[in-house]
Structure 1
């Protein structure tokens, strides 16, 4: 989700899956003031929900901003037959680590859900 899409998302009051992991953060005064303004503008959303969604959108934009760095290995060819080279920049590592942590979180959530059923 893009930052510019968050306001509409907040208006619709959607909710996503949450981990049990909690994070405590200190904001600079300007960021705290902006967050308070957003919380007042969208009172249906808890401040923690707003923070989570802002962080999620920022992470998506950060991932999109990582530079492509052309490697040596050809991994595919395009429709014109030209070689496409592996990305040796930060994106592949970020995606691999993100998938690993997602798997771990989903596994923990599943195990927790199974424990509650018994």
Structure 2
């Protein structure tokens, strides 16, 4: 590992070893986060457009959502420790899972709406 770091440092002489380690760690964390699975929880919305498909929106309850929640928690704590009394979250938006509704699901929903009007 040390030899690889030394090789990278020699290849990029304008960067310090600290910058290189920071870049490597940042890239590794991004790769890790992108590989975490997304799991749909409770359905929170349904969105339909005249031109496009209708989609169901679910809350994210999998590891990627947990990673973002914990990252925000620790980021806010670190920022407050550094004297920032009103820090913003690291991840500003909440994750959701979106699934396109099948034709059968849309037909069943329309049938339920039709029955409820009778």
Please say whether Structure 1 and Structure 2 have the same fold, judged by a TM-score greater than 0.5. Answer: yes
CA distance in 2, matches of 1:77, 1:57: 35
Q: Cα deviation per residue 1:63-90 (whole Å; 9 max; x = unaligned)?
A: 111111222x112334533212222210
Q: Does 1:87 align with 2:60?
A: yes
Aligned pair in 2 of structure 1 residues 78, 37: CA closer, same or farther (>3 Å)? farther
Q: For the Cα contact (< 8 Å) 2:46–2:56, is it kept in 1?
A: yes
Alignment TM-score, normalising by the size of structure 2: 0.60
Task: Specify the structure having the higher radius of gyration (Cα).
Answer: 2
CA distance in 2, matches of 1:95, 1:35: 29
**Larger proportion of strand:** 2
CA-based RMSD of the aligned residues comes to 1.7
Alignment TM-score, normalising by the size of structure 1: 0.60
Task: List runs of 5+ in structure 2 lacking aligned partners.
Answer: 85-118
Task: State the 1:97 CA deviation.
Answer: 0.7
